[in-house]
Structure 1
Amino acid sequence: MAFRSEVVHCYEELATGIASMLVLARAKEWGQLPALEARCSAMVERLKAIEPHELLDATQVEHVLDLLERIRSDQAEVSGLIKPQLESLISRMGYLTQQKNLGRAYGPPH
């Protein structure tokens, strides 16, 4: 019987978190993404700390590789969904900055 690997558990949690982010991004639930992203980032930091110290058996390595493929795929889709939103936000921020600068230069609109 194989022992329960913390590394495998962390990858499973990371895959679940990224999959949840994908569901939220598809539903355009942007406000909920930062909390999940923070949880995923914490999991990545945990993996950085423990992964070098734990050896996995062949079955566990195969499972982790499958999880990594899922993570990469889901993350790519999340990024593709978020990028247009970020570009739109940056554009709106630029417009607001321009309006603020015009207001300072010429006074408030009449």
Structure 2
Amino acid sequence: MACANEVVHCYSRLALTVGRMVELARAKDWTGLPALDGECTAIVDRLRELAPASGLAPLERARVTALMTRIRADQDELAGIVRPQLARLMRRIDELQREQKVRSTYRGTP
């Protein structure tokens, strides 16, 4: 079934893309993550379109289940890497805003 093959193909692409995101995050190469996140969104959108029409055979279902397990594990690892970075960024933004407020208070400008 062509639709079922496309479903498996989409999950394979999603697993590869999320895996690449993990590699970039491990290397602290944040520049490539937004584009890959966009690819993931497009793949998930396509899967939503296919899901109602797809009937997976047991072998295909097993492959998709294995891919989903891998995707979830990679997403968990990615979140574990990105969350602390995001928290640091938010703290730094807060510090800069406070510094700016103090400077503007002492200069008498908003």
Letter matched to residue 91 of structure 1? R
**TM-score, normalised relative to structure 2:** 0.91
Report the AA paired with residue 35 of structure 1: A
Cα deviation, residue 51, structure 1: 1.1
Runs of 4+ in 1 over 2 A off after TM superposition: none
Which one-letter code corresponds to 1:88 in the other structure? R
Matches of 1:105 and 1:52, distance apart in 2: 59
% identical aligned pairs: 39
Name the aligned partner's letter for residue 46 of structure 2: R
Match of 1:46 in 2: 46
1:94 aligns with 2:94: yes
Amino acid at match of 2:20: S
TM-score by length of 1: 0.91
Total equivalences in the alignment:
107
CA–CA distance in 2 between the matches of 1:107 and 1:39? Answer: 47
The two structures, once aligned, show a CA RMSD in angstroms of 1.5
SS at structure 2 position matched to 1:5: helix
1:80 corresponding residue in structure 2: 80
Q: How far apart in 2 are the matches of 1:100 and 1:45?
A: 42
Unaligned stretches of 5+ in structure 2?
none
Structure 1, unmatched stretches of 5+, are none
Q: How does 1:1-110 map to 2 (within 5 A)?
A: 3=2, 5-107=5-107
Which whole-Å CA distance do the structure 2 matches of 1:99 and 1:78 have between them?
A: 32
Alpha-carbon deviation of 1:94? 0.3
- Structure 1: which amino acid aligns with 2:5? S
